[in-house]
A and B are shown apart, each in its own frame.
Chain A
Amino acid sequence: METKVKLRITIDKDLADIVPGYLENREKDVILLPQAIRENDFDSLKMIGHRMKGSGAGYGFQQISDIGNRMEQAATIQDLDTIRDCLDQLIDYLRKVEVVYE
């Protein structure tokens, strides 16, 4: 069942110019990830997870860092079930997140 609950995240207004681009890049990850999963491309999965982990919280999205961390670890041990779960979490998060600049 699709949820309409929004997740409000407050972000430093100095980052207002670049946050939309960052979220667009995560939408691109959502497109790239299923292909990498289908191809068992664990190097790409690990790199995407690693980058999400390293950048998410810097932009104000701690949960993206957390998902990326879990994805990177799962890719290291080639655990596709967890990677698919991370993808679902990312899709759900991007659907719910609502940014407020202060």
Chain B
Amino acid sequence: MNTTYQTANSSRKGAMAASNHILVIDDDPDICKLIADFFQKNDFQVTISNDSKGLQEILERHKIDLIVLDLLLPDEDGLVVCRNLRSRSNIPVIILSSRGEEMDRIIGLEMGADDYLPKPFHPRELLARIKSVLRRSRSLPEEAGSPDDSNARYRFAGWSLDVPTRQLFAPSGEKIFLSGGEFALLRVLLSHPNKVLTRDQLLTLSHGREIEPYDRTIDMQISRLRKRLRDDPKSPEFIKTVRSLGYVFSIRVERIDSKP
């Protein structure tokens, strides 16, 4: 069963059109109630599903901007749901879990989740993370002096990344799905070819936040990006590791700007 809640201000003219629509998949009614109520008050539209069965139907019926996914679902492991979702969609995913294991967090991010929040969580923290993920999934934060590439297409070694549609194409023409975080990171790398970027710079430019101690977000996303680009991690052709510093995109990149 799934239920859709409108925003608290949905009667306000234009509010619905402007609001973000999040899908929460969690079997705990108290968690669903907490998220639905809090997010409606913050002008989100919320659809609740207590299992993963109706996921495809919900995605066909609604334009979902972000999915909040619990790992312990009654019908399927949330990690499997995340992996399947990522294979066919680039809707941002935030994993919630009270399993609390470090390995769950790492696997969740490797399965393509954009962020991970352990339970229990304060709804304000979830709101902040959702806003951050939505922000970076739509566009990179503006940086003084950085060229606007919002209408550009990048080409490298037969591959192409179309920024407006956020689509990556392999040399064969095959479309490769990217998570919001992966897209943002690849875009940053392509806009700074042959320039070493530190993990801190990559995190700030792609995620809009500063690195925290022991933060492996960038390393994990680089690993996933290499897989998407079929780049051998032992001897990468595209994204090279610069020991103790960061990463460099070491292939010639062509940028094609089209008029908006």
Contact = CB atoms under 8 A, between A and B. Distances in A.
A binds B: yes
Contacts of B31: 51, 54-55, 58
A59 B35 CA distance: 10
Contacts of B122: 57-58
Interface string A49-75: 011011111110010010000000000
A62 B121 CA distance: 10
Contacts of B121: 57-58
B59 interface: no
Chain A binding surface SS class: helix
Contact of B28 (A12, A21, A54): A54
A39 interface: no
Interface residues of B, number: 17
Given A12-B124, A14-B41, A54 B33 contact: no
Contacts, number: 52
B120 A54 contact: yes
B37 A51 contact: no
Interface residues of A, number: 19
A55 B34 contact: yes
B195 interface: no
Interface string A14-57: 11011001100100000000000000000000000011011111
18 contacts: A15-B34, A15-B37, A15-B123, A18-B33, A18-B34, A21-B33, A22-B33, A22-B34, A25-B29, A25-B30, A50-B72, A51-B31, A53-B119, A55-B30, A55-B120, A58-B119, A59-B30, A65-B120
Interface of A: 12, 14-15, 17-18, 21-22, 25, 50-51, 53-59, 62, 65
